[in-house]
Every structure is written in structure tokens, then in C-alpha cells.
Amino acid sequence: MRPTYTRAAFVTTTCLLAASACHGTDPYEKPLTPVLAEAVGREPTGRVLNYSAVVEPVNRIDLAFRVGGYVTALAQVAGRSIQDGDPVTPGLVLASLRADDFDAKVAQGQAGLAEAEAARGAAAQALARAEALYASRSLTKPDLEQARAAVESIDARISGARALIREAELARADADLRSPIGGVVLRRVIEQGSLVGPGTPGFVVADTSTVKVVIGVPDTMVERFAIGSRERVRSEAVPDGRFEGRITKVSPTADPRSRLFEVELSVPNPGGALRPGMVATVAVADAGGASAPDTLAIPLSAIVRAPGGGTGDYAVFVLEDAPEGPTARLRRVRLGDLVGNRIAVVEGLSDGERVIVRGATILADGERVNPTR
């Protein structure tokens, strides 16, 4: 009996293993490594001076209420109240005050106008009778002048009533706080249900299709900047963050405290990549290096040690669009001198190729990756 039990146990174990194999889970698949890539660009050679600045919108408007009242509605975006970062179009109603208060004032003015116009009709008839009586020498001249004064008084009341109606209608129109420009909401100050008074801030909106950066330069460099000339602007917070700014203002006097001259550059920003508050860098070659040819340069974070190489052997990971998806390919490079906070690449890369600048140290050659912005 014992051998029979052993064979039965063996058969049972074999069936359980087979069932487990049939219902087993899929093999583990490693998630793609997120990386940040940047296109290879050129930098001016020679001595480069980097000036830091904060990105600001060229056109920024603080919107305040002209009249007071209760906020009864806010603009809706994607089923919710408008908030910081939402886009706005010119003329968009951002907030509305309770309209009943303003409608009541308009109605009151219209009632006063109707009353004055009715009184004016009666006064006009009285004046006509007075003129007829005066013509027939049945009425004295003071009585005629009194009838004329009554008509003129009522005409003044009519003008005043119409002015009150116009004022009430303007107040009713101002109950809607509208954006005069297209752009984005930088800040929303009010909430629905708030009681606001005249001059209460409601929103801060800005047109970020063009932004500006303002740098301070010493007197030895101010002559280097001329209105209309173009300079390269970079932001490490933006992938492939290379922009070109045009100088729109050079201060004629230095700041009395810093002794620096302010230089303002306007930077086209159609995609909104540069956001107000970001830090930007303006790289300017000095007079001695301005005529030297540009060189390819990449961030220092893209450099890795070449496998199996010596002390001076370096490489980068180039992002390729392979059929199976974005892939990191190891590429040996020969490096040159530092160019600002970047390093020149003498050999191994071409202008426009995308190199991985974040996440390169944990990659392997041929590994599929997940590029992020």
C-alpha cells in the first residue's frame, strides 16, 4: 500500500506544477528609463561672459475692479474655475459681480428720465399758452419768463437723468472683469462669493508670447550692447533651451547702488517654453573672441566615461529614433575647452544631434529609453 501512496503523491505534485506553469504570470519587464535629451548646438568660442537674469513677461497687467459688489461667477476652464496658468483670450470675462445692484440703478435712472420727460411735455404746453397770451397782451413778461424757466429746468433734469443712466450702464458693464489681452493667468486673487470694492485686485494676466530678460553689465562692457543686436539666451530649465533675444533697451545711466547698466532683451516665446520666474543666462563673447568661429558644445552632465577607455576617453549617449522606439546609443567623443558652463566637442558629434543630458550615467548602449520634457 505504501508504494501506491507514493505514486499517487507524485502524480498529484506533477499536476499541480503543470497547472502552476499554465497559469503563471508574464515575465518581468523593466520599465523604460526616463531621460532628458538636448540638441547639440554651437557656442561662441573665446572668453564667454555669462549674465544671469529672470524671465519676465513683456506685457503684464494687474486687473482690478472699477466698481464694488459680490463676485457671483468666475470664468470656467475645463469644467472648473479659472486658475493660475490657464490661457485667456482678449475680452474674456474673468469674473462677474452681482448684476441686480446695477440693474436697479439703471431702472431708477430710467424711471427718473420718464418722469422728467412727462413733466417736460406739460411744461412745454404751459409755455405755448403763455406765449399766446403774451402775444395778445393778456400775460405779463415775467409770467412768460417763468414758464420758459420751468421748461429749461425740466430739460436740465432730463439731461441729468440721462447722465445717471449712462453712469449706471457703465457700472453694469464694469461688473464684468475682462482681460484686455491674450495670454495666461499669472495669479488669481479673488474667490467666488467674495465682496470686493472699487480698486480691489482680481487677476494678474500676462502675454508670454514674448518675454524679456534684463541683465546688468559693467561700464567696460556696455558699449558691447547695441539696440537691435541679437544675443543668445539659454535656460537650463527648458530642454533644448536655446533662444535668441533682441536688445530692446540699454539704460543710459548706471544703477546708483550696483553701478551696472541694465540691458533688456526681448525673446520670442511662441510655444510658451520660457515661463515667468525662470532663470535664464545670456552668453556674451568678449571683443577678443567675438570673431572666432562657433564650436559644438554640450552640457557637462552629458559626458560619461567610455567603457574600457583610459583616463581621457569620454563618450555620450545619442538619442536615436529606432523602429522599436527611442534608443540610447553610446558614442565616443573628443572634447575641447570649456565654453561657459558647457564643453566643446571637437570630434564625434554633428550639429543638431540629440544627446542625453540627464540620466546618462545609468544607461547601457542600445537601451530603450523614455524621453521626457
Fold of 100-174: Helix Hairpins (1.10.287)
Going by C-alpha positions, the residue among 318, 246, 256 that lies closest to residue 37 is 318
Residue in the block written with cell 472699487: 198
Confidence of residue 71 (pLDDT cuts 50, 70, 90): very high
Q: Is the dihedral of CA 9, 12, 18, 24 positive or negative?
A: negative
Confidence of residue 1 (pLDDT cuts 50, 70, 90): very low
Q: Residue range 243-258: average pLDDT?
A: 90
Report whether pLDDT(298) > 90. no
Query: Per-domain residue ranges for the chain?
Result: 31-45+293-373, 60-89+182-205, 100-174
Most confident of 97-101, 273-277, 365-369: 365-369
Report whether pLDDT(20) > 70. no
Q: Residue range 199-221: average pLDDT?
A: 91
The pLDDT value recorded for residue 165 is 87
Structure confidence by residue, pLDDT tens digits, 78-124: 899 999 989 999 999 999 999 888 888 888 888 888 888 888 888 88
The pLDDT value recorded for residue 293 is 59
Count Cα neighbours of 93 within 13 Å in the Cβ-side half-sphere: 12
The neighbouring-strand residues paired with 227 are none
- Tell me if 31-45+293-373 shares its fold with 100-174: no
Residue in the block written with cell 500676462: 206
Report whether pLDDT(25) > 50. yes
Fold of 31-45+293-373: 2.40.420
